[in-house]
Amino acid sequence: MKRNYKKEDFPVWNVRRFLEPGPIVLVSSYWKGQRNIMTMGWHTILEFSPSLIGCMITSANYSYELIRKSRACVINLPTVDMIDQVVGIGNCSGADTDKFKKFGLTPVQASTVDVPLIKECYANFECRVVDDHLLPQYNFFILEVLKAQVAVYPKYPRTVHYRGDGVFMVSGKHISMPEKFMPQNL
C-alpha cells in the first residue's frame, strides 16, 4: 500500500531536524520536459537562515545537468518502507528511465520551483541552487530551501542511512535530553 502522509508546512530554518541525522534522500529534478530522481547521501546542512544545504552530486549523474540548468531541485525524504524503491532508483539511469513511472511514485508540482516532488515521501524540501561555483572542482551544489512540507505523524521518520557495500542503517530510538543543553545550543 502506498504511503499517504498528511503534511504541513514546516519552518525552513529547522530542516536540520530531518537532514542533520544523515539520511539517504531522493532528489527530484526537471528541465525542459526531462524529469528524474536520484538517491543522495553526501549532503550537509550549512546554515539555519537562510536555510542552506550543501550536496555533492557527481557530474556523471543524469540529474546533474537537470539541476545545474534549472537551478532547482526537491529533496524528498523516504522512509524505510520505501527501501526497495530507494535502491532501485539508485541503480538505474534517468537517461533511459522515467523513475516516477518505473517505481510507482506520484509526481506533484512543487510550489516554489518548477520541479515535481515525490508525494509518497515523509517530507519535501523545495530548493534552488544559490551557488554553483564549486561545481568544477567538487561537484558541490549549495542550495537554499525555499519551502518545506513535513508529515504531521509520526514525529520522527524511520529513515535509511547508507554505509556503502549495499548496507543501510535504519534510524533507531531517540534520546531526549534538552535539560543538559545551554538554551542557545539546542
Binding site for a second copy (CB under 8 A): 14, 16-18, 20-23, 41-47, 52, 54-56, 80, 83-84, 87-88, 90-91, 134, 138, 140, 142, 156, 160-182, 185-186
User: Rounded to whole angstroms, what are the CA distances from 164 to 33, 100, 168, 169?
Assistant: 33, 24, 8, 10
Smaller CB separation from a second copy, 8 or 20 = 20
Least separation in angstroms between residue 26's CB and a second copy is: 15
How far apart are CB 163 and a second copy at their closest, in Å? 5
Residue number, 30 or 68, with CB nearest to a second copy: 68
Other C-beta atoms lying within 10 Å of the C-beta of residue 179: 5
- Asked whether the bond before 23 is cis by omega within 30 degrees of 0, the reply is no
Cell triple for 98 = 522515467
Q: Are 40 and 77 in contact (CB under 8 A)?
A: no
Tell me whether residue 109 or residue 170 sits nearer to a second copy (CB atom): 170
Q: What residues contact 103, with CB distance under 8 A and at least 6 apart?
A: 37, 85, 88, 89
Rg over alpha carbons for the chain, rounded to the nearest Å, is 16
Residue with smaller CB distance to a second copy, 42 or 109? 42
